[in-house]
Amino acid sequence: MYQDEILDENKTMFHQEIKTIDILVVESIYEENKISHAFAIANKQALTGLKVYPHCNSKAFDPKDKNYSRDYEKHIIKCENNEGKIVKKVNLDYIQKPFVPHIMQNKTYQYLLANGRQQEFKPTQYFLTYDLETVPKIVNKKFSKSSYQMYELFPLSVASTIRNKQGIKKIFFGQQNGDDFIVQWLNQLFKEAEQVNTDNQYITEACTIDQTIPYSMEVPIVGLNSLRFDISLIISQIQRKHWTISNYTGSASTAKQVIVHHKKLNLKVKFVDMLTYLQPKELKQAAKDF
């Protein structure tokens, strides 16, 4: 009994000593070496503008949102019922279906398989790439007593390579093209993507697009370590009159995949990062390998 009481006291003291500390990790490059800096965050709300529910520390709310009070109270009830744990429920269909996402989520392969023509299926052959060059600008912004921003990265230029049936083409836009050079680049990018999309489709013996085979794949726009840095610099220009983000996968700081839909052309492009599928490597080595 005495030993059990000591163990209980030790467990209680152990749990009391554990504290949750919020860390902000910032990476920088010094003399071609990547350096990581860790900062302890004293006030998350002052830094992010979001209020994190303290019981579970897994849900954040924007106090400026018109539905803030409703969503916050709704989460409190849900969180208390689950004792602060994230509970995931699986809803099964009434009709049993095979789990084959590579078939059900690909209309082209689904059609070819249904018609016994799966040997005609081909991978995406043509694509686009992009890379942004940035320049640091001193801003010296102070958010709180412990939060201070010294500089901010601004886009200086952007270059893209287009690979289609005609060969390889390069385009370049920079500050010399005007302050809206990113918008100009996106305009040209969609024009090139339209041709790439046509070249990726299935062709009949008469050298025309096979209209019987459904094709709704997004045009890939590939970058290297781009969804962490580059996309954050152009994402404000993606939401415009003629094009908009139709799908965003990832967190607020790091995107995994961004799909943009051009309303006028009825075309979708997909910004993807090469490092999502590969081991980390330098741009020069990636260009040499692929």
Convert the pLDDT of each residue in 40-66 to its tens digit: 888 877 777 888 877 777 778 888 888
143 and 260 share one domain: yes
Same domain, 62 and 173: no
CA–CA gap between residue 9 and residue 17 (Å, rounded) = 12
Do 131 and 283 contact (CB within 8 A), yes or no?
Answer: yes
The owner of tokens 């995931």 is: 88
Q: Within this chain, do residues 57 and 194 fall inside the same structural domain, yes or no?
A: no
Q: Is the pLDDT of residue 15 over 80?
A: no
220 pLDDT above the threshold of 90: yes
Q: Tell me the mean pLDDT in the region 260-287.
A: 84
70 and 172 share a domain? no
Are 229 and 242 in contact, with CB atoms under 8 Å apart?
Answer: no
* Structural domain for 64, as ranges: 20-81
Number of domains in the chain: 2
Q: What predicted TM-score, i.e. pTM, was given to this entire model? A: 0.62
In terms of domains, do 141 and 267 share one?
A: yes
**Residue 51 included in any domain:** yes
pLDDT of residue 67: 86
- Stretch 211-226: mean pLDDT: 88
pLDDT-derived band at 25, boundaries 50, 70, 90: confident
The stretch 249-267 carries a mean pLDDT of: 83
Q: Say which amino acid occupies 286.
A: A
- Whether 108 is in a domain gets the answer no
Q: If you write DSSP's letter for every residue of 7-52 in order, what string do you get?
A: HHHHHHHHHHH----EEEEEEEEETTEEEEEEEEES-HHHHHS-EE
Q: What average pLDDT does the segment 241-264 reach?
A: 84
Residues 132 and 203 in one domain: yes
The residue ranking higher by pLDDT, 7 or 64, is 64
Is residue 274 domain-shared with residue 158, that is, in the same domain?
Answer: yes
Beta strands at 148-164 and 127-142: parallel, antiparallel or unpaired? antiparallel
Report the pLDDT value the prediction gives residue 183, as an integer from 0 to 100.
92
Q: What is the pLDDT of residues 154-197, one digit of tens each?
A: 888 999 999 999 999 999 999 999 989 999 999 999 999 999 99
**pLDDT at residue 115, as a whole number:** 92
**132 and 252 share one domain:** yes
Residue 180: inside a domain, yes or no?
yes
The answer to the question of residue 113 being in a domain is no
